[in-house]
Amino acid sequence: MLKKSFSIIEFIVCFSIILILLVISVPKFFLFNKFILTSQADKLFSTFSFLQQKAISSNLTQNLKLNLKENSYSYDNKIFKLVDNVKFGFLQNVNGPPSTPTKKIDCAISFEKMNDHEYKVTFYPDGKIKPGTLYLIDKDYKFMAALTCPVSQVSFIRKYKYDNNKWICVK
């Protein structure tokens, strides 16, 4: 009587295909959080740039409110929530601010504090931005990014990523 079953060759081929698929897909899965964090940092960078240009063109001060508790930001009565994989926060034992990291970061946002969980970024009609830094972190506490508006004669916005224990300016 002949039994129907897999041959060892068929088993090895199927196992090899599954192994190849895992080797290709698992690293991409772990980099997904880094991609989402970068995307949220880019979106906030664009929002900062937009509000700076809007303040200049309208000749009116613009405000961006950051809500640490709700992981959201708002302007012009519109609220934007950070995606679930990202929040305002920082990695432990990391020095900041990113441009000259000299002391341990102790707060996720250093812009003007309004109350326990709300902060404000002010954009003036002359193009200046009230200085400060905000830090973003992924849900697994592996990746971090920062947006800064340093103290300077001409205000500009810088975006950083924290990679291999150092800050890298990406914009």
Q: What are the chain's domains?
A: 10-169 (3.55.40.10)
Bridge partners (DSSP) of residue 79 are 74
String of DSSP letters for 66-123:
EETTTTEEEETTEEEEPPTTEEE---TT-EE-TTS--EE---SB-SEE-SSSEEEEEE
Query: In this predicted model, what pLDDT tens digit does every residue of 77-128 receive, in sequence order?
Result: 999 999 998 999 999 999 988 888 989 999 999 999 999 999 999 999 999 9
CA–CA dist 171, 157 (Å, integer): 8
Q: Is 103 exposed, middle or buried (0-12, 13-18, 19+ CB in 10 A)?
A: exposed
Which one, of 29, 113, 104, lies nearest residue 67 by Cα? 113
pLDDT above 90 coverage of the chain, percent: 62
In this prediction the pTM is 0.81
